[in-house]
A = this chain, B = another copy of it.
């Protein structure tokens, strides 16, 4: 498969794409990003890289970070984790309280906010320095030691985090949060603020395309069954209330963030990261989804 050629075609086709999407504005820091940014980085299990556009500029990975915290927690805990959250798509907005209330404080899955807050709660319980743990994990699997939090974004999240505080308090009223709420919100807001570029994201997600191992050094981060399960979760729950659409149009497991990033993987083939800040109405990068749809259409290959 000539990925360079395919990416070039996509780059050309989309060069005049009229994008009706809107940059996330719920926190001021995110709204300051240049909306015209656009980059794609594809990393093959064979070791080759293919890219175009703004692939070297870091952005706020936001919810993509939930895959990392889930991975750390799945390394620690066995099936006990699933007593505190489910593995089902939500059919509701990512920050909905309705379902969480009806289901007694048990989040639908680890990729909606409530689920990620429970993951943060577990990190606080298990580690003395949960934020360091997170950063070290990401630095290790990507092989990029300079990856860091964006302090301004983290502070901005904190000042506009009342919805997440509502979710955490509701879960605590049901007994599904163990630690002090401000402590776990702090971990959660920093986690969302991690800044990475497309190349770094593609490298980090190679673990999920490569049966749980870092490609360069064969270190096993997750065993194959755990990787398959994380990939299944990305497929069914990785795109807020648009997971079905992504499976339907793109056909790969993936995860999006409101910073405009999307990462997807084709098991045993490649990981790919795309960045374009304008979001569609359901909060996913509009051009990012378009790009990945063209990628799997042109290659004729999805996991389905």
Contact A228 B166 (CB under 8 A): no
Whose C-beta in chain B lies nearest to the C-beta of A99? Answer: B91
Copies of this chain in the oligomer: 4
Contact B241 A88 (CB under 8 A): yes
Interchain CA distance A242-B235 in the complex, whole Å: 14
Instruction: Produce 1/0 per residue, A52-75, CB < 8 A to B.
Output: 000000000000000000000000
Knowing A166-B170, A304-B231, the reply to whether A244 touches B109 (Cβ < 8 A) is: yes
- Give chain A's interface secondary structure class: helix
A104 at the interface (CB under 8 A from B): no
Knowing A91-B90, A97-B98, A163-B169, the reply to whether A236 touches B232 (Cβ < 8 A) is: no
Knowing A98-B101, A169-B165, the reply to whether A304 touches B88 (Cβ < 8 A) is: no
A-B contact pairs, 28 of them (CB 8 A): A86-B244, A88-B89, A88-B241, A88-B242, A88-B243, A88-B245, A89-B89, A89-B91, A91-B91, A91-B108, A97-B166, A98-B98, A98-B101, A162-B172, A162-B173, A165-B165, A165-B166, A165-B169, A166-B166, A166-B170, A224-B300, A228-B251, A232-B248, A232-B302, A233-B244, A236-B247, A253-B304, A267-B304
A interface residues, Cβ below 8 angstroms from B: 86-92, 96-99, 101-102, 108-109, 162-163, 165-167, 169-170, 172-173, 181, 224-225, 227-229, 231-233, 235-237, 241-245, 247-248, 251, 253, 267, 297, 300, 302-304
